[in-house]
Structure 1
Amino acid sequence: MGEIRIIGTAHVSQKSVDEVKTAIDEWQPDVVAIELDQGRYLGLKQQQKNPEIEDILQAKNFTQLLIQWILAYIQRKIGMDVGVEPGAEMKAAIAAAEERQVKIALIDRDIRITLHRFWASMSIIEKFKMFYALIGSVVVADKSGELIDIDELTKEDVVTLAMEEFYKYSPRGAEALIGERDAYMSQNLVRLVASHERVLAVVGAGHRKGIEKFLQRPETIPPLDSLTTQIKTRPWGLIFGVIVTAVFLLLILAIIFSGVGTEVLLQALVYWVLIHGVLTFIFTLIAGGHPISGLVGFAVSPLSSLHPLIAAGWFSAIAEAKIRKPRGSDIKRIMEAESIMEMRDIPLFKVVLVAALANVGSSIGTFAYFIFIFPILGIDPNVILGQGFSNMWAAITNMLPF
């Protein structure tokens, strides 16, 4: 059994870069284990193949893409402020190992699996809190002149407090993003140390303590299969869509059976179209989308709101993609953008943002309709619903054979 030495780094710290180089030179490990997966490794080496735009659109995981891009932007912005490229310490470890012909091992979990499990594991409340935090982080990152002491991010007490706060803030999200990866990387390190005398692990400071705990008690490390399978979640989108459709149909039936006349019924239908369509159109424009994409969303939103498996944003995104013609190279431009406004000008980012915000507009339209429809129509909901359901029940009972 060999020996493992762990270096906890800050991903935008020059001190971490120097520490990695020194450790490789002085300790001369047999293998350097790096907190990367194959995709991120190829990305750092600039050998990653750009994905097909059709694959991105067909996957429809627009929210996860936005989260990944925004998190990368925040890290990159901090790196620019302190003059260190994000991932520089990983690049330094790779370069030093290659120069000395030392084996490199990629020990982190596939980023796509991590993002899926991160998103799927969080509750609705945690997701809202995360979006609020991301917006705040973007605002802070965009401010110039902020003094950032990156070296503080590698101190054990500071890291421990940050991890504890993250677990309080979003326990399930933190477990997927940190705890599970600690276990995954520990499993790979145990495998490496069984066949190598010296293993140098280069990981983020936030993972060091968790990995050390697992290595002290290897029997507590969960099997890899349990850390890589897809999380089965309740289809909340489908459930919400079914509820919306049922409530809308019941409302229409109540209006029909209440006897208030076809004029009120037509107004209720027209407002359903207008409220959903207008809000979807507005949010598409807020995302920087083309008016034609907004019009597509306007036309589709009233119908997609009644179909639990269709989202208005998908159609707006397809229209936007036809107009903007994004390319696979746009991903590199997104990763190199120096501001959110610059990212918004990149066709692929705009397509994904249009998809996300068009869906937000359509969802707000649904809530707004049920809240404001009776005041808009100028009728008493108690009368409409009470009389409508009463007459509906009477009609049903009259049709029964007993």
Structure 2
Amino acid sequence: MAEIRIVGTAHVSQHSVDEVRTAIEEYKPDIVAIELDPSRFAALKKQARDPTVNDVLEVKNFNSLLVQWLLAYLQRKIGFDVGVEPGAEMKAAIEEAEKRGIPIALVDRDIRVTLLRFWNSLGIFEKIKMVWALIVSIAEVDNGEKIDIESLKDQDVIDMVMEEFRKFSPNGARTLIDERDAFIAHQLILLKVQRPEGRVLAVVGAGHRQGITNHLDNPASLPPFDSLTREPKSFPWAKIFGFVVTFLFAFLLAAIAFSGVGWNVLLYAFLFWVIIHGTLAAVFTLAAGGHPYSALTCFCVAWMTSLNPMLHAGWIAAYVEARVRKPPLTDFRKIYETESLSDMAKIPLFKVVLVAALANLGSILGTILYFIFVFPLLKIDPGYVISTGVHNMWTWFTGLV
């Protein structure tokens, strides 16, 4: 029966690089399995095609993409501090295997599927906590806080970190850790079947080692493979929120119209909707470093897109920003190579994505503030307007019937 040895690494550790090279030399595996998928393998080998701005605009998953870029920046920044390129141990495994003519197996799940499942698994508060924790971590690293990389391979430290992560974000931990442990274990078992007499050396992050080992020791614990590979179909909370907003706005205008407080109040209610949404979306666009044309576009369309669950102001702002900035093909790679957040913020493609995310945030905030402050702004009694408006609407409707 095939033998499997697992090497747990830290992704920015020189010791891990040396450990991988030594393991391949001493263990003499028949195949080297690495914690990469084809797209990350190609990126590590500098063979990947950089996505165009049109590719980014078509996907429209701007928030997830921003989180991915910030996570990559954080890992890269730690790597700079310790003098090791992120993924250096995977690159060392690839180089050693190719030098010795040993086949390489890519055993991790498609990064696109993992990110989609991760982002869609998070509730709104988990997403806020995750982004805030990411920002705080980046600030700490940028301010020179040192991290003991080698301690992250100690099992006691790993267990403590994993436990904290599960408390912080149980859904995120399940998607990023548990599901990938199971996926990699499935792949390693398949390699055992394909090479019953061979020796497999698996190079994985230290945080995955124990979970994978547990699955290999007890294959019955593995979930069905297809349950780990399907693209997620999350509940459409955003669309439902959009339909609710549209209904509430239409109901509010109808109540004002039928309440008898005057058509000028109805007109002001509509104008406040336009102004509040447009102003906040435009301000957030400018805060993201967006072009004035993008901010002006946001101001003009935010009131409409906030009433259409199938459309977002940020998407339109991003399209305008892309046409004005014209990000070159090299921008995607530059984002993954930049050494500071200030440099990243100057990259046109990053501006496009940041504008999309913040313009949408501004529009959502506009919706919330509108329903909180519309009656004080209109200087009318909400109880009177709603009760009278509903009564008059019902009377008018029953009269028609």
- With normalisation by structure 1, the TM-score equals 0.97
1:209 is aligned to 210
User: Per-residue CA shift, 1:101-130, capped at 9, x if unaligned?
Assistant: 111111000100000111112222211211
- Offset, 1:356: 0.4
What SS does the aligned partner of 1:307 have? coil
Alpha-carbon deviation of 1:337? 0.8
Amino acid at match of 1:131: V
Residues in 1 aligned to 2:272 and 2:341: alpha-carbon distance in whole angstroms: 35
Question: Hey, what does 1:62 align to over in structure 2?
Answer: 62
Residues 330-374 of structure 1 show CA distances to partners (whole Å, capped at 9, x for unaligned) of 111000111111111111111000000000000000000000011
Cα distance in 2 for residues equivalent to 1:326 and 1:179? 37
Tell me whether 377-386 or 104-113 shows the greater mean CA deviation. 377-386
Q: CA deviation at 1:220?
A: 2.0
Deviations 1:284-309 (A, max 9, x none): 01111001101111111000001111
Q: Shift of the alpha carbon at 1:147?
A: 2.1
Matched residue, 2:263: 262
- CA distance in 2: counterparts of 1:379 and 1:37, whole angstroms: 60
Question: Hey, what does 1:81 align to over in structure 2?
Answer: 81
Question: CA offsets, 1:271-292, max 9 Å, x none?
Answer: 1000000000000011110011
Distance in 2 of aligned mates of 1:161 and 1:7: 20
2:179 corresponds in structure 1 to 180
**How far off its partner does 1:255 sit?**
0.7
1:332 corresponds to = 333
More moved, 117-126 vs 261-270 = 117-126
Aligned twin of 1:15? 15
Q: What is aligned with 1:315?
A: 316
SS at match of 1:5: strand
Pairing 1:287-326 to 2, within 5 Å after superposition: 287-326=288-327
Per the alignment, residue 365 of structure 2 pairs with: 364
Secondary structure at the residue paired with 1:335?
helix
Q: Which amino acid aligns with 2:62?
A: F
- Aligned counterpart, 2:159: 160
Point out the more displaced range, 191-200 or 24-33: 191-200
Partner AA of 1:374 in structure 2: F
Counterpart-to-counterpart distance in 1, 2:188 and 2:370: 55
Structure 2's unaligned 5+ residue stretches are none
- The letter of the residue matching 1:235 is P
* Corresponding letter in the other structure for 2:27: W
Write the mapping of 1:194-273 to structure 2, written as runs, cut at 5 A. 194=193, 195=195, 196-273=197-274
- The corresponding residue for 2:122 is 122
Work out whether 1:276 is the aligned partner of 2:272. Answer: no
Deviates more, 1:74-83 or 1:116-125: 116-125
Report sequence identity in percent: 57
> Within 2, Cα distance between the matches of 1:147 and 1:397?
72
Shift of 1:322: 0.3
TM (normalized to structure 2)? Answer: 0.98
Q: Give every structure 1 segment of 4 or more consecutive aligned residues whose post-TM-superposition deviation is greater than 3 Å.
A: none
Tell me how far apart the structure 1 counterparts of residues 259 and 298 of structure 2 sit (CA, whole Å): 33
Looking at structure 2, the residues matched to 37 and 253 of structure 1 have their Cα atoms a distance apart, in angstroms, of 54
Structure 2 CA distance for aligned equivalents of residues 231 and 124 of structure 1: 17
Question: Gaps spanning 5+ residues in structure 1: where?
Answer: none
In structure 1, what is the Cα distance between the partners aligned to 2:224 and 2:329?
Answer: 35
Q: Distance in 2 between matches of 1:207 and 1:253?
A: 57
Structure 2 residue identity aligned to 1:142: D
Aligned CA RMSD, in angstroms, stands at: 1.0
Structure 1 distance, partners of 2:31, 2:329, is: 34
Shift of 1:383: 1.5
Secondary structure, aligned partner of 2:207 = helix
1:143 pairs with 2:160: no
CA displacement at 1:13 relative to structure 2: 0.6
Post-superposition CA distance 1:201-255 (Å, at most 9, x none): 1000110000000000112222321111122221111100110000001100111
SS at match of 2:173: helix
Alpha-carbon distance between aligned partners in 1 of 2:337 and 2:55, rounded to the nearest angstrom: 22
Partner amino acid, structure 1, of 2:167: K
Secondary structure, aligned partner of 2:390 = helix
Indicate the residue corresponding to 1:346 in structure 2.
Answer: 347
* Alpha-carbon separation, structure 2, partners of 1:38 and 1:238: 33
Higher alpha-carbon deviation: 198-207 or 379-388: 379-388
| Letter aligned with residue 180 of structure 1 | E
